[in-house]
């Protein structure tokens, strides 16, 4: 072969011909292969049109922004700097090659979270109505950049983007996951890292299960013993600890920057033993509210059984306690929602209790959420029910967060027989495909949420393993208009493997492509 370079060029042009890279025989075009030109965005955008050609990001860049989108400009500017090009911000420059446009005129078409991303031969334009839309557009752009951008370890010299048009709007407003901090504690560092990962996949709700029999994980100034005593226990082998009020505020601020809302759950009136150790006056006389075979105060509980403890619902002082706790939690909460649990309890006064708790939360200015059992009571029309086993007949129709255990219980095995997993809901576990094929036909659903109960999830690595990659399927089910091509999802998922690694996620091994 006389001219191997030229041969390589031609072969390369044919190879990437589908993207019509505008190959010439000049050396600069083929100087570096551009493996990032495959478009593998997760969750899949609603409309994606791939145009001919690429946009080679120049060495000098300018980001402009309109309206109140300065935060997005700073984010994009930092992103560009992290890929070894220089970038500066100029508020309303016409000459900018990265333009951010935030305009309420798009509110009808894009809502708060939708965006339009155009990459053309002369630059990139990102348009939205809300700040969240720009944030999500930047996440998509980030996924078009070479992997390594997640942790600032980019090897490639030339940054090349495919020319395209994306118009993207989420299907559901609620795209989340729940972490059980009560059985085994996960602290500020893990939760912050987790929110970075969530945001990259456009997940926007982090529900924290803060209290249960095995521990109480949130400091409340009005009831200091809850965390002082209740923070000391955990499930066997699990970590104890608690979030201080300051920690909680710090997490909320971190969440807000990533367009995530944290939802605190105080599980009432069952799953409450840790509080009963801290404040034994909440028990009935003779401890009829407990199964004494499990534990009695002052001993801690570190077992797995559920449904054996409750507040003494005949004692008026219990309602004062609940009111004080819910008031302080509501005041601490930035977001609109407070979760009051309500699962797995048998008591004649259960319905009376949950109606009262629902009304308390509303009187403190928050929307109450509860596990589906609560919906059998005469709860308010604002109440949101979180479905997990579909065994409750609701008294009224209400909005539903879908966490049906056959698709979303991530304390269940990734693959049949996986160690340290539950299997009571589905013997074979909850596979990635089970998540992806969730059947979301019902119209009251406002979104999806995957809980990870932590009786058997004791370390950060185990939590990563239960969450990833299944949470990417949750992201796609929650965001994308359709989720019917599992093989296409798998193909994109494989392309994300190096991104998951760059994010330091100890994910469960990805399934093979057929």
Which residues are catalytically annotated?
A: 344
| Residue 371 sits in the site that holds ligand TNX (CB under 6 A) | yes
Chain centroid to Cα 301, Å, comes to 30
Q: DSSP class of residue 284?
A: P
Classified as helix, coil or strand, 379 is coil
Residue 453 binds ligand TNX (CB under 6 A) = yes
Binding mask 265-304 for ligand TNX (x = CB under 6 A): ----------------------------------------
Q: Do 452 and 458 touch, CB atoms closer than 8 A?
A: no
Distance from CA of residue 134 to its chain's centroid? 18
Contact mark string toward ligand TNX, 344..363, x via CB under 6 A: x-------------------
* C-alpha–C-alpha distance, residues 146 and 125, integer Å: 19
Shortest distance (Å) from residue 391 CB to ligand TNX: 11
CB of 10 to ligand TNX, least distance (A): 58
Nearer to ligand TNX, 330 or 421 (CB): 421
- SS3 assignment, position 72: helix
d(CA 381, CA 323) in angstroms, rounded, equals: 20
Task: Determine how many CB atoms are found less than 10 A away from the CB of residue 74.
Answer: 13
State the minimum distance, in angstroms, from the CB of residue 306 to ligand TNX.
5
Closest separation between CB of residue 143 and ligand TNX, Å? Answer: 33
Q: How far is the CB of 463 from ligand TNX (least distance, A)?
A: 14
Instruction: Return the exposure string of 26-47: e unless at least 16 CB atoms fall within 10 Å of the residue's CB, then b.
Output: eeebbeeebebbebbbbbbbbe
In the complex, least distance from residue 63 CB atom to ligand TNX, rounded to whole angstroms: 45
455 binds ligand TNX (CB under 6 A): yes
Partners of 87 in the beta sheet?
61
Which residue stretches of 154-266 are H helix? 188-200, 225-230, 245-257
3-state secondary structure string across 17-28: HHHCCCCCCCHH
Smaller CB distance to ligand TNX: residue 219 or 411? 411
Pair of tokens at residue 182: 């009560």
By the rule CB under 6 A, 385 interacts with ligand TNX: no
The footprint of ligand TNX on residues 318-337 (CB under 6 A) is none
Quick one: CA dihedral 178, 181, 183, 185, positive or negative? positive
User: In terms of CB distance, is 23 or 306 closer to ligand TNX?
Assistant: 306
Choose among 402, 394, 384: nearest CA to 351.
394
Asked if 309 interacts with ligand TNX (CB under 6 A), we say no
- Is the distance from CB of 242 to CB of 227 less than 8 angstroms? yes
CB 359 within 8 A of CB 338: no
133 token code pair:
């839309």
Cα-flanking dihedrals φ and ψ of residue 143, to 5°?
Answer: -75, -15
Is residue 172 a contact point for ligand TNX (CB under 6 A)?
no
Question: Would you say 40 or 344 has its CB closer to ligand TNX?
Answer: 344
Give the residue with the Cβ less far from ligand TNX, 219 or 373. Answer: 373
# of chain residues touching ligand TNX (CB under 6 A): 9
**Alpha-carbon span 380 to 394, nearest angstrom:** 12
Does residue 213 touch ligand TNX according to CB under 6 A?
no
When asked if residue 343 is in the footprint of ligand TNX (CB under 6 A), the reply is yes
In this structure, are strands 160-168 and 115-120 parallel, antiparallel, or unpaired? antiparallel
Site string for ligand TNX, 388-427 (x = CB under 6 A): x----------------------x----------x-----
Query: Between vectors from CA 161 to CA 158 and to CA 166, what angle results, nearest 5°?
Result: 165
Nearer to ligand TNX, 133 or 429 (CB): 429
Least Å distance, CB 486 to ligand TNX, is 25
Question: By the 8 A CB rule, do 384 and 411 touch?
Answer: no
Q: Which is nearer to ligand TNX, 407 or 422 (CB)?
A: 422
At which residue do the structure tokens 């009786």 appear?
455
Near ligand TNX in 474-493, by CB under 6 A: none
For residue 429, the minimal CB distance to ligand TNX (Å) is 12
Nearer to ligand TNX, 196 or 344 (CB): 344
Q: Least distance in Å: CB of 235 to ligand TNX?
A: 10
Judged by the rule CB under 6 A, the positions of this chain that interact with ligand TNX are 306, 343-344, 371, 388, 411, 422, 453, 455
């Amino acid at each position: 072969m006389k001219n191997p370079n030229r041969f390589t060029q031609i072969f390369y042009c044919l190879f990437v011909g589908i993207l019509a890279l505008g190959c010439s025989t000049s050396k600069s075009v083929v100087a570096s292969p551009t493996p990032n030109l495959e478009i593998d965005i997760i969750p899949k955008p609603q409309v994606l049109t791939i145009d001919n050609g690429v946009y080679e990001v120049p060495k000098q860049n300018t980001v402009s922004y309109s309206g109140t989108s300065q935060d997005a400009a700073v984010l994009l500017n930092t992103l560009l700097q992290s890929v070894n090009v220089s970038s500066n911000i100029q508020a309303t420059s016409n000459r900018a090659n990265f333009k951010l446009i935030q305009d309420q005129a798009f509110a009808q078409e894009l809502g708060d979270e939708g965006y339009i991303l155009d990459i053309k031969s002369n630059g990139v334009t990102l348009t939205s109505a809300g700040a969240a839309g720009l944030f999500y557009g930047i996440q998509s752009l980030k996924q078009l950049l070479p992997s390594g951008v997640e942790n600032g370890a980019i090897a490639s010299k030339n940054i090349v983007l495919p020319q395209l048009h994306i118009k993207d709007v989420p299907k559901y407003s609620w795209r989340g996951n729940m972490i059980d901090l009560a059985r085994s504690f996960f602290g500020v560092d893990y939760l912050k890292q987790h929110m970075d990962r969530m945001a990259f996949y456009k997940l926007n709700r982090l529900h924290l299960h803060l209290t249960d029999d095995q521990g109480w994980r949130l400091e409340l100034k009005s009831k200091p013993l809850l965390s002082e005593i209740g923070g000391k226990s955990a499930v066997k082998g699990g970590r104890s600890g608690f979030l201080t009020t300051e920690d909680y505020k710090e997490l909320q601020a971190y969440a807000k920057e990533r367009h995530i809302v944290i939802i605190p759950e105080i599980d009432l009136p069952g799953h409450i033993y840790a509080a009963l150790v801290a404040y034994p006056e909440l028990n009935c006389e003779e401890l009829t509210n407990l199964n004494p075979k499990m534990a009695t105060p002052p001993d801690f509980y570190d077992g797995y059984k559920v449904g054996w403890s409750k507040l003494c619902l005949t004692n008026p002082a219990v309602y004062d306690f609940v009111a004080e706790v819910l008031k302080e939690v509501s005041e601490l909460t930035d977001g609109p929602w407070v979760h009051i649990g309500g699962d797995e309890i048998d008591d004649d006064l259960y319905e009376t209790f949950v109606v009262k708790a629902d009304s308390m939360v509303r009187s403190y200015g928050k929307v109450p959420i509860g596990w589906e059992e609560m919906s059998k009571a005469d709860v308010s029309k604002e109440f949101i029910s979180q479905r997990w086993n579909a065994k409750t007949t609701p008294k009224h129709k209400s909005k539903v967060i879908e966490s049906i255990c056959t698709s979303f219980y991530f304390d269940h095995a990734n693959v049949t027989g996986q160690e340290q997993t539950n299997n009571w809901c589905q013997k074979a576990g909850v596979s990635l495909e089970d998540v992806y094929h969730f059947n979301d036909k019902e119209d009251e659903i406002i979104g999806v949420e995957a809980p990870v109960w932590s009786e058997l999830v004791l370390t950060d690595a185990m939590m990563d393993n239960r969450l990833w990659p299944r949470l990417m399927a949750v992201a796609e089910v929650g965001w994308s208009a359709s989720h019917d091509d599992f093989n296409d999802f798998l193909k994109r998922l494989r392309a994300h493997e190096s991104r998951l690694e760059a994010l330091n996620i100890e994910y469960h091994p990805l399934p093979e492509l057929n």
